[in-house]
Amino acid sequence: MVSGASEPESVARAVERLRLAEASLARRRQSDCGPSETARAAMRVVYDSADAGKRVTPTDIAATLGISTPTATTMLKRLHDGGLVAFQRNPDDGRSKYVVPTDRNADVEGVDPLTLRVRDIARGLDEDTAAKLATLLDAIADAVDEECR
């Protein structure tokens, strides 16, 4: 904890450090090989939707990310070709397809090495702390997502 700061202030400062570190990482990844930051965001949409029991289409992903459907389709094809997502035919609409995750544990380090490190860190939390932290981070993610919309 920062000297003189209350616990909530320390949490807010830690979240700000996290946001700055994420922004810096995103800039570094722009020049790196592998999936772009937008492609990684698309993968998160696919995985989060699957975890919530929802089916997601390329159009849904485009809307969520604020990109055009053709851009999303091209990006998803590259992810599919790399074995990172799969497509399933929509039984209700032959022109539509769902985007589903492949085995997310198959090569998580190859897709995003940071994911593996974060999972390892999270395993060290007790259940009560993990639940409180997940609630806090979800609320912060919602606030970030609503900014400038």
Q: Residue 1: give the domain boundaries.
A: 1-33
Residue 62 has a pLDDT of: 97
Helices first, then strands: H and E counts in the chain: 7, 2
Predicted pLDDT at 110: 58
47 close to 119: Cβ distance less than 8 angstroms: no
Identify the pLDDT of residue 87.
95
Q: How far apart are CA 39 and CA 32, in angstroms?
A: 13
pLDDT digits (tens, 9 = 90+) for 68-88: 999 999 999 988 888 889 999
Q: Helix, strand or coil for residue 117? A: helix
| CB contact at 8 A, 72 and 58 | yes
Beta bridge partners of residue 86, listed in sequence order: 100
Per the structure, how many domains does the chain have? 2
Q: What is the CATH number of the domain that holds 106?
A: 1.10.10.10
Residues 24 and 95 placed together within one structural domain of the fold: no
Q: Is 88 helix (H, G, I), strand (E, B) or coil?
A: strand
Residue 100: its H or E element: strand 97-101
Q: What is the pLDDT along the chain (149 residues), one digit of tens a residue?
A: 445 678 888 888 998 998 888 888 777 766 665 677 888 889 889 988 998 999 999 999 999 999 999 999 999 998 888 888 999 999 988 889 999 998 765 555 556 677 778 888 999 999 999 999 999 999 998 888 788 76
For residues 6 and 67, state if they share a domain.
no
The confidence score (pLDDT) of residue 35 equals 72
Let me know whether 27 and 88 are in one domain: no
Query: Does residue 118 sit in the same domain as residue 55?
Result: yes
